[in-house]
Amino acid sequence: MNESAERDPRVVLFTDDPGWHGRMLVRALAARGLEAVTLSLKSCYLAITGGVPRLFLPGFNGALPRGAFVRGVPGGSLEEVVLRLDVLHWLAQLGVPVFNSGRAIERTVDKAMTSFRLALHGLATPRTWVSEWADRADTFSSLFADQRSIVLKPLFGSQGEGILRIDSTAELTAVTPVGGVFYAQEYVARSGPPFSDWRVLVIAGRAEFAMERRSTHWITNRALGADCVSTALTLEMAALAEAAAAALDIDYAGVDLMRDVHGRWWIGEVNGVPAWWGLARATGLDVTARLVDAFCAKLERGCSVGDLA
């Protein structure tokens, strides 16, 4: 199991676009005496020589980092994405703490698996259908007859891109889904406009920060122009967000909550590589410092059973 590999005291920050988040993480890690090396998962490779599995990260000369902070996993073909996740899996198997683990990333990047895990744990998430078919629109006929809608999302989407609200069978049959897969959820009717949802950042099992996102459009992602404002983190919001993170066994997560017209809370999505620039700006709090604190605590603990699964 690569027992002979040296351990480098530096940590790796996996991202293809360091930007503000990368600069803040590198600075916060340096304040704690840790040097961070920014790398793309695309630049790493695996080898098995002499019956020994080895992982090679540019700049580490065959050594393993003290830990890895995952800020982004680049997209690509199925083979490319699997390889990039394999890098995270191999790191954990070789005893390197990974924040978030490859398993957690897999569970959150795949919306179907996220929905499955949430439902399995009895958490409030909209009714969901996932299929490759395009000729069974009658499945939703009763919803449309009741003047209710469905929301189609890319199975591997983010930042609100590619989301469609469908109000009729005719609209549905005209849609060609991204990647050939229909991921459909019942539309949660909310008050508006303006429309709101809430992003809660859960770190090491605890809901730490929250903001409200407001938009004149029912899609309320910041990337699509929603305004981010500070909001009180209620006990109900915190409990639901923490339960969602626990269901996915994840170190840090952006949990998106919605509140319907009857006041009931729903979990919309769980992001396994959430950005926090908007959250930090809205709250005025040092979100990066709290994330780095949790990362450093994981370095001290080492890998967990969940990381190795």
Beta-carbon count within 10 A of 217 CB: 14
pLDDT at residue number 239: 97
Q: Examine the pLDDT at 3 and tell me if it is beyond 60.
A: no
Q: Are 290 and 203 in contact (CB under 8 A)?
A: yes
> Which pLDDT band holds residue 183 (cuts at 50, 70, 90)?
confident
DSSP of 106-148: HHHHSHHHHHHHHHHTT-----EEEES-SS-GGGGHHHHHTT-
What is the rounded average pLDDT of the residues 227-232?
91
pLDDT at residue number 137: 62
Which of 194-208, 220-234, 256-270 shows the lowest mean pLDDT across its residues? Answer: 220-234
Q: Greater confidence, 216 or 44?
A: 44
Query: How far apart, in whole angstroms, are the C-alpha atoms of residue 185 and residue 138?
Result: 15
Orientation of helix 102-109 relative to helix 111-120, angle to 10°: 100
Q: Give the tens place of pLDDT for each residue, 123-178.
A: 999 988 888 865 566 677 777 767 688 888 888 866 556 788 888 878 887 777 77
Q: Are 186 and 251 in contact (CB under 8 A)?
A: no
Q: Greater confidence, 137 or 217?
A: 217
Strand 98-99, strand 67-70: pairing: parallel
Largest Cα–Cα separation, the chain: 65
Q: Examine the pLDDT at 179 and tell me if it is beyond 80.
A: no
DSSP H stretches of helix in the chain: 19-31, 78-93, 102-109, 111-120, 141-145, 169-173, 235-248, 277-283, 287-301, 305-308
Query: How far apart, in whole angstroms, are the C-alpha atoms of residue 137 and residue 145?
Result: 12
Q: Examine the pLDDT at 2 and tell me if it is beyond 60.
A: no
Q: Give the tens place of pLDDT for each residue, 40-52.
A: 999 999 999 888 8
What is the rounded average pLDDT of the residues 81-109?
95
pTM of the model: 0.89
Q: Are 160 and 223 in contact (CB under 8 A)?
A: yes
**What mean pLDDT is reported for the chain?**
89
What is the rounded average pLDDT of the residues 111-128?
95
In single-letter form, the type of residue at position 7 comes to R
> Which pLDDT band holds residue 261 (cuts at 50, 70, 90)?
very high
Query: How far apart, in whole angstroms, are the C-alpha atoms of residue 205 and residue 87?
Result: 25
What is the rounded average pLDDT of the residues 54-73?
95
> From the CA atom positions of the chain, what is the Rg in Å?
20
pLDDT at residue number 305: 44
Q: Which domains are assigned to the chain? A: 11-99 (3.40.50.20), 128-186 (3.30.1490), 190-290 (3.30.470.20)
Beta-carbon count within 10 A of 85 CB: 18
pLDDT at residue number 4: 52
pLDDT at residue number 134: 59
Three-state DSSP class for residue 245: helix
